[in-house]
Chain A
Amino acid sequence: MAPLLKVENLRIELKTRAGIAPVIDDLSFELGQNESLSFVGESGCGKSMTALAIMGLLPDRIGRIASGKIIFDGEDLTTATEARLRQIRGNDISMIFQEPMTSLNPVYTIGEQIAEVLRHHQNLGKIAAHNAAIDLLNAVRIPNPKSRVNDYPFQMSGGQRQRVMIAIALACRPKILIADEPTTALDVTVQAQIFDLLRDLRRQTGTSIIMITHDMGAVAEMAERMIVMYAGRKAEEGPVRQIINNARHPYTRGLISCVPHLMSDPSAERKELTEIPGIVPSLQAFGKAQCLFSERCGLASERCLTERPPEIVFENAHKSSCWHARNPK
């Protein structure tokens, strides 16, 4: 079956004060129907930019798609007109963002903000859209939807606002939902609720989800496949369980070992908390012809410093871009 979304050799450039930097450098991946994919990486690795590029929402004068293709349902979005992209946004591909506190317009009711996307894309009338909004609030488990539909965002908590965002995003039954760090700004308990909600909704609607996060724990909960990003490049890709058990890139191994383990027996001996030494390279250092992780890597060899590693494929479409992928320890 043809993939729903196919990204080929995507290169996104950002204009910075020091020149042009490739925030995404030759990225390729596929997303199928009803699949759940997660992009993982530290801040600044370009994962949000990928999402914005798919939506056609790169910041106007600063970012642009330099080369590559984004093929959605057979159509190349990089060559689509703005009008066509607007048809797709909110309708076939939706996005929710990290900051629920500021992502809703403070001067309109949440009902209005949900109804508006239905009126625009599905041509629903005012009353029909209003009622559909109430149904959606119900679907995202907001109690008392009939009265809350007329509330303003400032009358709701962060978790509730994020649910409203999910309602808006899923209103038109999109094929893909992109969630950019949806729970980072929320409490841990609320996080769990949101994940449950997303999982259930996905089961009901069959929407594919791309979740962007820096939290390995979230990946383990939500995704079937994951892509690990580092400095604008794909470091590793593959089924989540397989990678967690046997990561083939030193960065991934580092990320996994960073997650603290809760011991069931508090007095038992604890594994030491590790860290990945050093920091991510700045935007100016992206795009170099070498492995960008080599400066922080314990396995780095001569080749790593002078040649960009190729993508090596293992079983189950497990890929790793590392010169030492075959023997990662």
Chain B
Amino acid sequence: MTHQNNDPIVQAQSPLSEAWDMFIRNYAAVAGLIILALIIIGAAFGPTLYPTDPFEMVWSPFTPPGVDGFILGTDYLGRDLLSQIIYGARVTLIIGLSAAIVTVVIGVTIGALAGFHRGLIEEILMRITEFFQVLPTLLFSMVIVALFGASLPMITLAIGVVSWTAVARITRAEFLRIRELEYVMASRASGTSNWKLMFFVILPNALPPIIVQSALMVGSAILFEAGLSFLGLTDPNVISWGQIIGSNRQYILESSFTVTIPGLAIFITVLAISLVGDGLNDALNPKLRQR
């Protein structure tokens, strides 16, 4: 009796749903996602629900958290810390996301071009990448912000311009690998233009590590912005978590909660992003998982 069956031996699942399944199984990643969602909701609706002006002096300075009806207390100028945190969340998330977008756009473009073309273009782009790798990132951004003004767009640009090398490296590595694969050769042999090859054939397959790195870039952009605003290189009309720490720093002898709490906020946000990034990594690069 011979085996006669035309059913496929293994049921295939779409890669997207497979990735989602893996992601869901990772409790830490899901926790991170939930925390992020909460932060985003808090940033979006917080000011409506808690309309205290973060710049207004509402009580005596350094009121500890929980006292006099102030959940998080007040800072060195007597301003409500909770509302500062809520408003700061918006800035953090906006800059984090925009800077990450700038980083990824620059990084993917350069990485793709360097990985796809050979010869002179590749050499030049690689040298440029090396150059930006060597540049001390924070110092350079400090210079840009100090020279060209500390507006939100400028800060975003300053962060994006120095952070793209990691994304470029990964993109280039993926392009180098994929362009040698057979289906790309086949596509080329049938006359597809370089442009289409890069964006419609290679790039979609190079996405998993790029996506993971991009997620992590949001986290690092947030940390970067926190550093800049800690040093005071930020828009003075805007409250940012790093800035709260920076301005309250001289008073840690009197009260430590004014620096501890905003730092905690940054930490939790970046942690959530890292967890999600890790989860994405496990979900999208399954072969590394199966050890």
- Interface positions of A (Cβ within 8 A of B): 277-279, 294-298, 300
By a CB distance below 8 angstroms, the chain B residues around A300 are 1
| Residue of A with least CB distance to B9 | A279
In angstroms, Cα B2 to Cα A296, docked, is: 5
By a CB distance below 8 angstroms, the chain A residues around B9 are 279
In angstroms, Cα B3 to Cα A300, docked, is: 12
By a CB distance below 8 angstroms, the chain A residues around B1 are 294-295, 297, 300
A-B contact pairs, 14 of them (CB 8 A): A277-B2, A277-B3, A278-B2, A278-B3, A279-B3, A279-B9, A294-B1, A295-B1, A295-B3, A296-B2, A296-B3, A297-B1, A298-B2, A300-B1
By a CB distance below 8 angstroms, the chain A residues around B2 are 277-278, 296, 298
Please name 11 further chain A to chain B contacts, defined as beta carbons within 8 Å, in addition to the given A277-B3, A296-B2, A297-B1, sorted by A numbering: A277-B2, A278-B2, A278-B3, A279-B3, A279-B9, A294-B1, A295-B1, A295-B3, A296-B3, A298-B2, A300-B1
In angstroms, Cα B5 to Cα A296, docked, is: 12
In angstroms, Cα B9 to Cα A15, docked, is: 22
| Residue of A with least CB distance to B2 | A277
Q: Which of B256-282 contact A (CB under 8 A)?
A: none
| Residue of B with least CB distance to A301 | B1
Give, as a whole number of angstroms, the nearest-CB distance from A107 to chain B: 21
4 shortest interchain CB distances as A-B pairs = A278-B3, A277-B2, A300-B1, A295-B3
By a CB distance below 8 angstroms, the chain B residues around A295 are 1, 3
Q: Which of B1-32 contact A (CB under 8 A)?
A: 1-3, 9
By a CB distance below 8 angstroms, the chain B residues around A298 are 2
| Residue of B with least CB distance to A300 | B1
Give, as a whole number of angstroms, the nearest-CB distance from A184 to chain B: 22
| Residue of B with least CB distance to A296 | B3
In angstroms, Cα B3 to Cα A43, docked, is: 19
By a CB distance below 8 angstroms, the chain B residues around A277 are 2-3
Give, as a whole number of angstroms, the nearest-CB distance from B291 to chain A: 11
| Residue of B with least CB distance to A297 | B1
Give, as a whole number of angstroms, the nearest-CB distance from B192 to chain A: 34
By a CB distance below 8 angstroms, the chain B residues around A297 are 1
| Residue of B with least CB distance to A299 | B1
In angstroms, Cα B9 to Cα A298, docked, is: 21
Give, as a whole number of angstroms, the nearest-CB distance from B10 to chain A: 10
Q: Which of B71-127 contact A (CB under 8 A)?
A: none
In angstroms, Cα B9 to Cα A297, docked, is: 19
In angstroms, Cα B3 to Cα A298, docked, is: 10
In angstroms, Cα B205 to Cα A125, docked, is: 54
In angstroms, Cα B259 to Cα A304, docked, is: 77
Give, as a whole number of angstroms, the nearest-CB distance from B25 to chain A: 13
